[in-house]
Structure 1
Amino acid sequence: MSFFTDGPRSRPLFPVPEQELFGYNGRPWVETPHEYIVPAILPWSMPLGRAERTIVALRGIEVWPESVSFQLSVYSRDLLLDEPGEGLIDHRRVPDYNALLVGVLFPDGRRASSETISVPSATKPDQPVLRAQGLGGSAFHVDHEIFLWPLPPDGPLEFIVQWLDRDIEESRTSLDGTAIRDAAKEAGEIWPGLPARKSHGLPVRRVGAQAMITPAWPRESQAPPPLPQPSSPPPASDQPRGAPLPTRLPRRAR
């Protein structure tokens, strides 16, 4: 007897249109390629900043072919957030200087931090990119993902944490940048040889998280239908002679 006893279910009356995963767009500075790559895992766990009632800790690192994501957790003995899903760090808003701040310093002097809003760029940036977002948790424990591009060069990578409201002064932790670069070689591709998205010669316009194809109307036969014109009053010759035009609407009877 089969372990799963339920048989096949019939399709819904109005099935959802099929969707297909296309090839990677090749912009590793925007986000981690979760749908295309299985990352290498570095099980590094250590405190990054600590006060009497609060701990900021690293729980592990996911290493991608061209980027890194740090799994960061905050633990507290008192209330952190009413809504843990919002997170304590978010690259989409400018943080309070006294709030939780994170940053990295490369061995060659390049740096990136959560001090400013980070907006995805269509072109390759000339400086490191750091983005932070909350992953949920509870009122006393909140998880975050800290995205960093590119991979650090060989040498010590400093991870900096500061949270003045929680009595955590600037704290620096040295991580092995060479080990991170070596781990990137172990990241595995899930779907080799995926086809690229075809636009059929039409420009692709991104709206939010979806892509829309905007027609270019190259020929008259493909042009959109003309807009309806506003109706005009009949010519004066068609109006009955001697009939005065109303100057005001009649008052509604009570």
Structure 2
Amino acid sequence: MSFFTGGPRERPLFPVPEQELYAFNGRHWTDAPREHIVPAVLPWAQPLGRSERTVIALRAIEVWPEALTLRVTVYSRDSLVDNPAEGLIDHRRKPDYNGLLIGVLYADGSRASSETVSVPSASEPEDPVLRAQPVGGTRFAVDHEIFLWPLPSAGPLKLVVQWTDREIPETRTTLDGGAIRAASKDAAEIWPGLGKRQANGLPVRRVGKQVALTPDWGTAVVRAEEPGHAPGD
């Protein structure tokens, strides 16, 4: 009779980095499809808000087939952050209304802003998605990408910024939603004809075991570990 009564447990699975690019999954609301699409670029550089020592500026708009990315830089005459990679726009469960806030107002009245935490979802959300992330810069010029889904319809798309700590009041800038939507037709697919990933076919590994993956990253094949030898064998 065995002293240890419990049997072996299934080892947990963990994702591993992709080694092959598959066709775009069609979830345009989760992130910019930068691995699959070259976006159209609208060079609409303009200030979005300013005070005596700080300027929030739109540098360009990248337009994807069903979404867009706002390239926004914050400029200052004094140091903004010790580490630009941390950025200035925080998505928090409890918003800091003294900090830098950014939002959009669609022509139909729907809205999205950095006030909320936007978590990517497998199913298409009912409300617009806005997700800000830092992309570097310097202590005096901090760059951000503002991902926005869906594309606006014809009519005004209003960008709203506010930074109370930097004496920038709520400021609205109106963009041409129809022109943004029209530019999406110029976004170009990079790899037409890529194969689709098999359902639930994420590449994985098991902790404590060596995993061999098929060339098309299908089902993982687990090789049993060689049994160890007891001392004195």
The TM-score with structure 1 as length reference comes to: 0.72
* Equivalent residues in 2 for 1:13-92, closer than 5 Å: 19-91=19-91
> How has the CA–CA distance of structure 1 residues 106 and 33 changed in structure 2, closer, same or farther, with 3 Å as cutoff?
same
> How has the CA–CA distance of structure 1 residues 23 and 51 changed in structure 2, closer, same or farther, with 3 Å as cutoff?
same
Unmatched runs of 5 consecutive residues or more in structure 2: 1-16, 207-220, 225-233
Give 1:110's aligned residue: 110
Measure the CA separation in 2 of the matches of 1:37 and 1:93. Answer: 32
Give 1:249's aligned residue: none
Measure the CA separation in 2 of the matches of 1:148 and 1:18. Answer: 26
**Bigger relative contact order (CA 8 A; separation at least 6):** 2
Off by >2 Å, runs of 4+ in structure 1: 90-95, 211-214
Give 2:137's aligned residue: 137
Q: Deviations over 1:122-142 (max 9, x none)?
A: 100011000000011111110
**C-alpha displacement of 1:90:** 3.7
Q: Is the 8 A contact 2:104 2:113 kept in 1?
A: yes
Give 1:172's aligned residue: 172
Larger mean CA deviation between 86-95 and 168-177 belongs to 86-95
The percent of aligned pairs where both chains have the same amino acid is: 63
Unmatched runs of 5 consecutive residues or more in structure 1: 1-16, 206-210, 215-221, 226-254
1:212 aligns with 2:213: no
Q: Deviations over 1:11-70 (max 9, x none)?
A: xxxxxx992111111100000000100000000000000000000000000000000000
Q: Is the 8 A contact 2:74 2:143 kept in 1?
A: yes
**C-alpha displacement of 1:176:** 0.3
Measure the CA separation in 1 of the matches of 2:30 and 2:132. Answer: 12
Q: Is the 8 A contact 1:128 1:148 kept in 2?
A: yes
**C-alpha displacement of 1:149:** 0.3
Bigger strand share:
2
- Rg: which structure is higher? 1
> How has the CA–CA distance of structure 1 residues 124 and 82 changed in structure 2, closer, same or farther, with 3 Å as cutoff?
same
Q: Is the 8 A contact 2:114 2:130 kept in 1?
A: yes
